[in-house]
Amino acid sequence: MALWGGRFVEASSDRFKRFNDSLAFDFVLLEQDIEASIAWSEAICKVGVLTAKEQQTLQNALLTLAEQVGKGDIDMSQSQTEDVHSFVETQLIAMVGDVARKLHTGRSRNDQVSTDLRLWCRQRVDELLDLLNSTINTLLNLAENHKHHILPGYTHLQRAQPVRFAHWCMAYVEMFQRDIGRLQDARKRVNQCPLGCAALAGSAYDIDRVALAQQLGFDGPCLNSLDAVSDRDYVAELLFVAATGMMHLSRFSEDLIFFNSGEAGFIHLGDQVTSGSSLMPQKKNPDALELIRGKCGRVYGALQGLLVTLKGLPLAYNKDMQEDKQGLFDALHTWYSCLEMAGEVANSIELNDAQCRKAACEGYANATELADYLVAKGMPFRTAHDITGAIVVYALAQSEPLENLRIDEFHQFTTLIEDDVYPILELEYLVNKRQAIGGTGLAQVSEAIEQTRLALGRASYRVRDAKLTDLRAINRLVSYFASREENLPRSEDDLIKSIRDFAVIEEQGQVVACAALYIYSTGLAEIRSLGVENSHQGKGYGVELCQFLIRRAKQLALSKVFVLTRKPAFFEKLDFHLSDKARLPEKVMKDCELCPRQQCCDEVALIYCIGSSEGVVNDTEANGDQVLMFSQSKDGASRVSSNSQ
């Protein structure tokens, strides 16, 4: 059914209908069209167009329609209506009859579509803001866990000065924070209500547009009806923000593609975000990052397309504006999916510290430091710059780094250089000297991470017993750390049977860490399957889980805790004390047969006595019946150890 058919004698041609109809893409506005229609029904009820009973009938029908479409009882793709607005009205007429024909009184599709689109944009903006905050938290955790790793910084893609990997992470945190600021600012202009402006001149009914705007969550009504129905600045602005955000993601991807390359070798990307070659079996391609980089172009195209569409349009509404939606829908979806993928890539990163350090020491990155050293000795900077350049040429000819040159070799260029030059040429000195705000020194980077965390606010979380609905998340964590040989693999059937043994940490509705307390028939106990998602390490969740399960052990009247670990410092902070591994009961050691390191075990044993304020216990008591054992190398506690640092 066309909403405008009364003036026409002949029907539209099939070709025009296919060309003109928009339901195939604007169906995504159904929720918003129903929300705005309910608000409009209440507004026209207040001015006497509808009775209270008619308004309630329409509202119930609209809610029923939303439920039916949501359940799949009604297939919108089979509708022959022109657009989502026609679809809703047609369905309402079929459901409640002629009273549905009153709903459109005083409004036009011009103000209706703009209202729907603004509501949709507002919802997408809020989702993007949440995801950007999540991505920033992922990078903050990555930075926190790699504050001590140093790699080369680049200008012109040439090694320039060494920086901390955490400093690199924080550069993108800054970019994503600006994206948040732009989105928040754009949201203010999105959040104005055009409903009640009708086709272009305003509604003939005395609608309380301020109350209408408030009911729909807008900050206020659009004040000029001509502008309200034809304004698409908010679409262009969101597309610009998306294009800028995608540009940041593209640069992020390009950096990591290079860092992951065989030529650099600074990082390894996880198997879950890479793919192979159909011909070359050795290949491991960074396809996730390349796709993010590639998808940047389609978002740019959507922005350019809209600007060209709008540039010559007269006031007020023109059908050209139907072209505002597909590009917007695709661009914001693309940005969202790329942010999700960027977070997953970041979670998979493993640093090659040795290669990072080697590259940072090469390329004469300490040349600037040598020049500054000469300046401190009283030499003019330009002279120091020239002399340092000549020393670099000499060092290149000798195939030696600057720090390996002898004093007599330095003296060929200037006698100002003495033995005190060597400390300032060391890698840590180079980065730690940059302690001014914005620098790559350890103290400054740590402060930047902490201040950003404070600005974002810490995520709320809780430690609780696991439920069967947590199975998928637990299985993912256990499988991931098993693939890294940091815990033992567990079948899904085994996990289902032992779900009551598990405790989890839930953050913002998502399970991000787990561990299980397994009780043997002899009264012995073991913590197994301990793991914390990479993106949530550095928050102390490993400690929280250990303490939670120790409290459970106390409730079960267990008295002693053993731990086997390659990271004893983590457990020593929890008042565990070194013990004799040979005294551990064989019953607990049965899982060692599954361990890939059973023939070359490098674990140490620690013991904690529940009920002792200091956790001190006599080694001779290790063979008691009630023992709680943490199996670190088999159960991922090494991942948790980084949380305590």
DSSP letter, residue 197: -
3 state SS of 397: helix
Distance from C-alpha of 437 to C-alpha of 267, rounded to nearest angstrom = 27
pLDDT of 523:
67
> Residue 389's domain is classified under what CATH number?
1.10.40.30
Cα–Cα distance for residue pair 235/178, rounded to 1 Å:
19
Q: What is the DSSP letter of 565?
A: E
pLDDT of residue 612: 46
- What is the chain's mean pLDDT, rounded? 86
Q: Determine the average pLDDT of the residues in 548-561.
A: 78
420 with 515, same domain: the answer is: no
| Whether 179 and 319 share a structural domain | yes
Q: Are 240 and 223 in contact (CB under 8 A)?
A: no
Please state which of the ranges 80-89, 286-295, 305-314, 478-487 shows the lowest mean pLDDT: 478-487
Task: Answer yes or no: is 430 within a domain.
Answer: no
CA gap 418, 421 in Å, rounded: 6
Q: Is 243 within 8 Å of 182 (Cβ atoms)?
A: no
Domain boundary, last residue among 320, 352, 384? 352
Q: How confident is the model at residue 50 (pLDDT cuts 50, 70, 90)?
A: very high
Cis peptide before 316 (omega within 30 of 0): yes
Q: Which residues pair with 525 in a beta bridge?
A: 519, 628
Summarised one tens digit per residue, pLDDT across range 532-554 is 988 787 777 888 888 888 878 77
CB 556 within 8 A of CB 593: no
The pLDDT of 252-272, averaged and rounded, is: 95
Does a structural domain hold residue 29?
A: yes
**478 and 533: one domain?**
yes
Other CB atoms within a 10 A radius of the CB of residue 37 amount to: 26
Give a yes or no: residue 514 inside a domain: yes
Q: Name residue 334's amino acid.
A: T
Looking up residue 39, the CATH number of its domain turns out to be 1.10.275.10
Higher pLDDT pick, 444 / 569: 444
Same domain, 607 and 481: yes
Q: What is the pLDDT of residue 28?
A: 95
Question: At 56, which amino acid appears?
Answer: Q
Distance CA 324, CA 305 (A): 9
Q: Is residue 212 part of a domain?
A: no
Q: For strands 577-579 and 604-609, give the pairing.
A: antiparallel
Identify which has the larger pLDDT, 269 or 597: 269
Task: Work out the pLDDT band at 600, boundaries 50, 70, 90.
Answer: low
> 377 and 415 share a domain?
yes
Residue 443 placed within a domain: no
**Percent of the chain at pLDDT exceeding 70:** 88
Closest C-alpha among 374, 335, 362 to residue 160: 362
* Structural domain containing residue 509: 461-644
Report the DSSP pairing between strands 627-631 and 560-565.
Answer: parallel
Task: Look at residue 308 and tell me whether its pLDDT is greater than 90.
Answer: yes
Which of 69, 102, 135 terminates a domain? The answer is 102
Distance CA 47, CA 175 (A): 49
SS3 627: strand
Could you tell me if 502 and 603 lie in one domain? yes
CATH number at residue 563: 3.40.630.30
- Structural domain ending residue among the three candidates 304, 325, 352: 352
Q: Is residue 362 part of a domain?
A: no
pLDDT, position 7:
66
Question: According to the model, what pLDDT value does residue 3 have?
Answer: 62
Query: Where in the sequence numbering do the catalytic residues fall?
Result: 156, 277
The tally of domains found in the chain comes to: 4
**Do 171 and 273 fall within a single domain?**
yes
pLDDT digits (tens, 9 = 90+) for 93-132: 999 999 999 999 999 999 999 999 999 999 999 999 989 9
| Whole-structure pTM value | 0.70
CA distance 593 to 590: 6
- Whether residue 230 lies inside any domain: the answer is yes
**Predicted confidence (pLDDT) per residue in 371-405, tens digit:** 999 999 999 999 999 999 999 999 999 999 899 99
- Tell me, what CATH number does 181's domain have? 1.20.200.10
Does 431 fall in a domain? no
For residue 168, give the 3-state DSSP assignment: helix
In a shared domain, residues 571 and 510: yes
149 or 507: which leads in pLDDT: 149
- CA–CA dist 637, 630 (Å, integer): 8
**158 and 96 co-located in one domain:** no
Which residues lie closer than 8 Å to 75 by C-beta, 6 or more apart?
A: none
Q: What is the residue type of 490?
A: R
Least confident stretch, 41-50, 135-144, 277-286, 408-417: 277-286
Q: What is the pLDDT of residue 623?
A: 34
Query: In this structure, are 419 and 539 located in the same domain?
Result: no
User: 398: closest CA among 383, 387, 386, 410?
Assistant: 410
Based on the domain organization, do 243 and 288 belong to the same domain?
Answer: yes
Do 599 and 565 belong to one domain? yes
Element holding 84 (H helix, E strand)? helix 84-96
